Amino acid sequence: MPIRAQQPDVSVVTLTIDGQDLSARADETIIEVCRENKIPIPSLCWMDGLSVVGACRLCVVEVDGGPRLQAACATRVREGMSVQTNTDKLQRYRRTLVELLFAERNHVCAVCVSNGHCELQWLAQTCGVDHVRMPYRNTGYNVDSSHEMFRIDHNRCVLCTRCVRVCDEIEGAHTWDVMGRGSGCQVVTDLAKPWGESDSCTSCGKCVQVCPTGALVKQGTSVGEMVKDQQFLSILARRRSSR
Amino acid sequence: MNLDDLEDLAAKYRADAGDHDTEVRVCLAASCQSSGAQPVFDALSAGCDDGAAAAPCKVKGVGCMGLCSAGPLVAVAAPEAALEAGVIYRDVSAADAPDILASTAPGAAPVERLRCPSDMPFFARQHKIVLQNAGIVDPNSFRGYVMAGGYAAMVQALTEMTAQDVINEVTASGLRGRGGGGYPTGLKWSTVAKMPAGQKYVICNADEGDPGAFMDRAILESDPHRVLEGMAIAAYAIGANKGYIYVRAEYPLAVERLKTAIRKAKRSGFLGNHICETQFNFDVEIRLGAGAFVCGEETALMASIEGGRGQPRPRPPYPAEYGLWGSPTLINNVETYANIAPIVSQGGDWFAGIGTDKSKGTKVFALAGTIVNTGLIEVDMGTRLRDIIFAIGGGIPDGRAFKAVQTGGPSGGCVPEAHLDMPVDYDSLKTLGTMMGSGGMIVMDETANMVDVARFFMEFCMDESCGKCVPCRAGTQQMHGLLERIAKAEASRADLELLEELCDVVQATSLCGLGQTAPNPVLSTLRYFRHEYEEKLG
Amino acid sequence: MSSGNNKVTVATTWLDGCSGCHMSFLDMDERLVDLAAQIDIVYSPFVDAKTLPEQVDLGILEGSVSSDEDLHKAREFRARCKVLLSLGDCAVNGNVPAMRNPFKLDAVIERAYRENVDLNPQIPTEGVPRLLATVRPVHGVVDVDIFVPGCPPQADAIHYVLTELIAGRTPDPSQVTRFGA
């Protein structure tokens, strides 16, 4: 269920983020204000132009010194709010979350078409993950190359569901969805049919562009060649909302 | 219809029910049925019809009498009399039917070989508000409920009280949510009531899924109208006209009885349009859960009702503001709704006089594990754990020693012997590192291995994680792996440290309550039984 | 970080890896000359020494732990080296050698030595170490102090890490390298 502002709120609030005094529109979320002001908060599932799911938990921040952490993507700004985005504790949590993602599936960066252009790889570096302390799960996943233009490698999927949302909310096809639960979750096309046999897929490729890792890629790319262009999304989203 | 009309209706029903001094009640709730109550009921009914009974009597299928471990249970009592006022028989078989029917003759002695003393602490020390009708009324009978004083609170609310009056009573009662969180019910109601008028919903959360918990099932199987009445009163108070009961499909008997109750209440004008000839409309639908534990989480539950994947979403916005299909929604647990009718009838102040300072009223607990009296009990908030386990529960069987009691299901923790004198309420359990939860209590004796206990609950959480957020999906999986290694004595001290760190991360960063509380069984066993972990380290 | 003669003693070896990290080490080119003044390579594929000394200041392991022999080497390095460094993705996260982990070991051997072999297929048993069921990074079997990811880590990254260590500081390799770099 997407959370959207019921109506645009044009009033302005002031808040502090990491000690910096900032102003924001009242209908903005913490992460939007951070992005505008170049305050780096790691995130994976959040994407400008898509609905908010608050699933990766990498953007958790401390609000008003309270014990309960809040996802910056799912928390609206408030007048007088005080946000800490980068305490030692938060850094430790983020490091562990990234490690959990690496241990969960088989992200072998060295032989990935997205090597060098991958958000997960970049997150590991910026969060200081130079090794993964927990044992790797070592479960093998399928690679579906049945689509004539694209490929999905579930070994590299982080279940951010950007593909699911862009397909549903922007393209309007809803080819992608999630099946299973817990560690058994997997994104699927149609009712878990091979992608190439999907009746609903329009082959627009938006899912490939928004995918943060090398899970959704173009066919025919080799190691490090898959560079994604995500500019289209915010442009599309802005044009649509202004209508 | 006003209260007098309702009383007239009850009197008419009583007259229709015919003349009998005694009724033979057979528990037909799920646990007695599983130990063979249906043949007992059939034999008693057949015997009664054949005139084997010595006096005018009636055989009646009823709901849960509580002492599930002694089922099938049969009680012989005056119509509508309390359970303790009658004679209770345990472990009854169909062959016992003639003797039981014979004992109903005036002056005849009870069947001593089957007798279960009704003055035993298990019965005597309970205080029944929620379970007032359980084991007494026939859950399939709308008339039975009305004869027991049912729907009086709803009629009173609709005809004599404003919505605000109802909310005031609930607020004054100090009732807190019985699903586990303990959020003040009155506050929740008034929040939804204050939302602008328009489409609003009332939801009853009957997706009881904690291992060892069966309170909600028993309430629904024993007294479904009580829950419907509570929901209708809630709908009136907040201005809703539509309700959903989200109940797990694994409770077929509860679903069947709810369906019957809804159908009969509608037919009699106690649900539907113009309820009891007032302007109030309220319709209830049942939605079946497909067995996902996470659907007990309110936002996941609503997503499931809407037909989506049963996954939670970040809060706020809370359901009170943005709930089912975006409308303001009140969502309460079965037991919470079951408390509403008595609160409205007898007043919030009456209810507030029961229990402790911050936790009012009674609480239903399901006693399970290695305990003599397995079953369902209802006691005042603030009753000591020791009284629950040893006096009411009868202690540990086979002369073994008590080790710990697990409360709050997979979100809770284990309480050791040293803390048994703690009065049970929301806040005291929290200080012990566990929680009230929905009311499951699993008692463990000295042979229990606490690492195994933690591993069991972690496996449960891992299997039940919806997979949406990273810490819960991947974290529970890693924690379970570490617990497996510790249990097999293959782990190092570094593994234990990593386990503790993962507990912290999963607790602090998970999206919903399932993940946030998943580490609790590990943390609480580490707190009280750390040596059992350390003994296994390499 | 040195012992006795003011030179830091360094031992290196490769486990299940491609030797690319060692090649990258050599890619430090002229900087090796300066390094040679500060470190003494006492055991390595680079030098002729055949036995690992009892006491070494810095041990550098390339490759993942895939066989009995890898396990033995990793444990020996840990026991004898004051500081143990995992060099490259295979040592740090298993990398390509670990891609066999989702499969059963028998199936992997069958595939490699029978199914894909045209001439005289046979599974080698003599003179080769026994493979472990699961390929693990070095820190999966022994404690590791410094992690330098990369496939391979660039010569600059290795140079940075070594000079920091020689100077007695704790390097932060994430400044200069990353998984797959």
Is the Cβ pair B473, A97 closer than 8 Å?
no
Confidence (pLDDT) at A66:
86
* Spatial contact of B436 and B424, defined as CB atoms under 8 Å apart: yes
Is the Cβ pair C99, A106 closer than 8 Å?
yes
Is the Cβ pair C147, A102 closer than 8 Å?
no
Residue of A nearest to C172 (CA): A128
Which chains contact A through at least 3 pairs of Cβ atoms less than 8 Å apart? B, C
Whether the predicted pLDDT of B365 surpasses 60: yes
For residue B201, give both structure tokens. Answer: 């919903």
For residue A28, give both structure tokens. Answer: 């903005």
Residues of chain C contacting residue A107, judged by C-beta atoms under 8 Å apart: 179
What confidence tier does A1 reach under pLDDT thresholds 50, 70, 90?
A: very low
What is the per-residue pLDDT across B207-237, written as a single tens digit (0 to 9) for each?
998 888 999 999 999 999 999 999 999 999 9
The nearest CA of chain B is from the CA of A220 a distance in Å of 31
* Spatial contact of B76 and B87, defined as CB atoms under 8 Å apart: yes
Q: Select from 3.40.50.720, 3.30.70.2740, 3.90.550.10, 3.40.50.700 the CATH code of C8-98+134-175.
A: 3.40.50.700
Listed range (A130-144, A215-229, B53-67, B330-344) with the worst mean pLDDT? B53-67
Q: What mean pLDDT value characterizes chain B?
A: 93
| A141-162 mean pLDDT | 97
* Spatial contact of C124 and C114, defined as CB atoms under 8 Å apart: no
Residue of B nearest to A185 (CA): B467
| A126-153 mean pLDDT | 96
Residue of A nearest to B316 (CA): A75
Residues of chain A contacting residue C170, judged by C-beta atoms under 8 Å apart: none
Terminal CA-to-CA distance of chain A, rounded, Å?
A: 23
Residue of A nearest to C179 (CA): A109
What is the per-residue pLDDT across B274-287, written as a single tens digit (0 to 9) for each?
999 999 999 999 99
Chain A with chain C: Cβ pairs closer than 8 A: 71
Is the Cβ pair B470, A180 closer than 8 Å?
no
Is the Cβ pair A140, C102 closer than 8 Å?
yes
Interface of A to C at Cβ within 8 Å reads 102, 106-112, 115-116, 118, 121-122, 124-126, 128-133, 135-136, 138-140
Which chains contact C through at least 3 pairs of Cβ atoms less than 8 Å apart? A
Question: Exposure string (b/e) for B232-253, b if CB count within 10 Å is 16 or more?
Answer: bbbbbbbbbebbbbbbbeebee
Confidence (pLDDT) at B438:
84
Residues of chain C contacting residue A131, judged by C-beta atoms under 8 Å apart: 86, 92-93, 137, 139, 144, 147, 149
Residue of B nearest to A51 (CA): B313
Residue A130 phi, psi dihedral angles, 5° rounding:
-100, -5
What is the per-residue pLDDT across B280-323, written as a single tens digit (0 to 9) for each?
999 999 999 998 999 999 999 999 999 999 999 999 999 999 99
| B163-192 mean pLDDT | 95
SS3 content of chain A, % helix, strand, coil (to 5): 30, 15, 55
Percent of chain B with pLDDT over 70: 99
| A9-16 mean pLDDT | 89
What confidence tier does A134 reach under pLDDT thresholds 50, 70, 90?
A: very high
Residues 6+ apart with CB under 8 A from C92: A130, A131, C86, C137, C138, C139, C147, C148, C149, C179
pTM (2 decimals)?
0.94
Whether the predicted pLDDT of A184 surpasses 60: yes
The nearest CA of chain B is from the CA of A67 a distance in Å of 9
| C6-34 mean pLDDT | 95
Q: Which is it for strands B329-333 and B201-206: parallel, antiparallel or unpaired?
A: parallel
Domain limits, chain C: 8-98+134-175
For residue A27, give both structure tokens. Answer: 């209908």
- Rounded to two decimals, the ipTM of the complex is 0.94
Confidence (pLDDT) at B130:
96
Is the Cβ pair A138, C140 closer than 8 Å?
no
Whether the predicted pLDDT of C4 surpasses 70: no
In DSSP notation, A112-142 reads -TTTTS-HHHHHHHHTT-SS--SPP------
Between CA A124 and CA A232 the distance in angstroms is 26
Whether the predicted pLDDT of C2 surpasses 90: no
Listed range (B290-294, B321-325, C21-25, C52-56) with the worst mean pLDDT? B290-294
Residue of A nearest to C144 (CA): A131
Residues of chain A contacting residue C140, judged by C-beta atoms under 8 Å apart: 135
Residues of chain A contacting residue C136, judged by C-beta atoms under 8 Å apart: 135
What is the per-residue pLDDT across C64-103, written as a single tens digit (0 to 9) for each?
999 999 999 999 999 999 999 999 999 999 999 999 999 9
- Nearest Cβ partner for A97 among B313, B463, B471: B471
What is the per-residue pLDDT across B433-476, written as a single tens digit (0 to 9) for each?
888 888 999 999 999 999 999 999 999 999 999 999 999 999 99
- In order of their start, the domains of chain A are 12-86 (3.10.20.740), 91-242 (3.30.70.20)
Residues of chain B contacting residue A54, judged by C-beta atoms under 8 Å apart: 313-314, 469, 511
Burial, C58: exposed, middle or buried (Cβ in 10 Å; 0-12, 13-18, 19+)? Answer: buried
Which chains contact B through at least 3 pairs of Cβ atoms less than 8 Å apart? A
Confidence (pLDDT) at A4:
52
Q: Which is it for strands B87-89 and C65-67: parallel, antiparallel or unpaired?
A: unpaired
**A229-to-A215, B253, B396, C163 alpha-carbon distances in Å:** 15, 55, 66, 39
**Torsion of the alpha carbons at B120, B126, B127 and B132, rounded to the nearest 10:** -80
Measured from the Cβ of residue A148, the count of other Cβ atoms closer than 10 Å reads 9
Is the Cβ pair B322, A104 closer than 8 Å?
no
For residue C51, give both structure tokens. Answer: 């036995």
* Spatial contact of B254 and B223, defined as CB atoms under 8 Å apart: no
Whether the predicted pLDDT of C7 surpasses 70: yes
Confidence (pLDDT) at A21:
97
Confidence (pLDDT) at A5:
47
What confidence tier does B57 reach under pLDDT thresholds 50, 70, 90?
A: confident
Is the Cβ pair C137, A111 closer than 8 Å?
no
* Spatial contact of B301 and B248, defined as CB atoms under 8 Å apart: no
Is the Cβ pair A181, B469 closer than 8 Å?
no
Confidence (pLDDT) at B66:
92
- In order of their start, the domains of chain B are 3-124 (3.40.30.10), 150-352 (3.40.50.11540), 362-445 (3.10.20.600), 450-534 (1.20.1440.230)
Confidence (pLDDT) at B49:
79
What confidence tier does B523 reach under pLDDT thresholds 50, 70, 90?
A: very high
Whether the predicted pLDDT of B56 surpasses 80: no
Residue C25 phi, psi dihedral angles, 5° rounding:
-60, -45
What is the per-residue pLDDT across B60-90, written as a single tens digit (0 to 9) for each?
999 999 999 998 999 999 888 888 888 999 9
Is the Cβ pair C96, A108 closer than 8 Å?
yes
Interface of A to B at Cβ within 8 Å reads 1, 3, 52-58, 60, 69, 71, 74-75, 92-93, 96-97, 100-101, 103-104, 133-135, 137, 158-159, 177-178, 180-185
Residue of A nearest to C150 (CA): A110
Confidence (pLDDT) at C75:
98
Is the Cβ pair A125, C139 closer than 8 Å?
no
Between CA B528 and CA B526 the distance in angstroms is 6
| B404-432 mean pLDDT | 92
| C121-126 mean pLDDT | 89
Strand-by-strand arrangement of the B87-89 sheet: B57-62, B22-27, B74-77, B87-89, B115-116
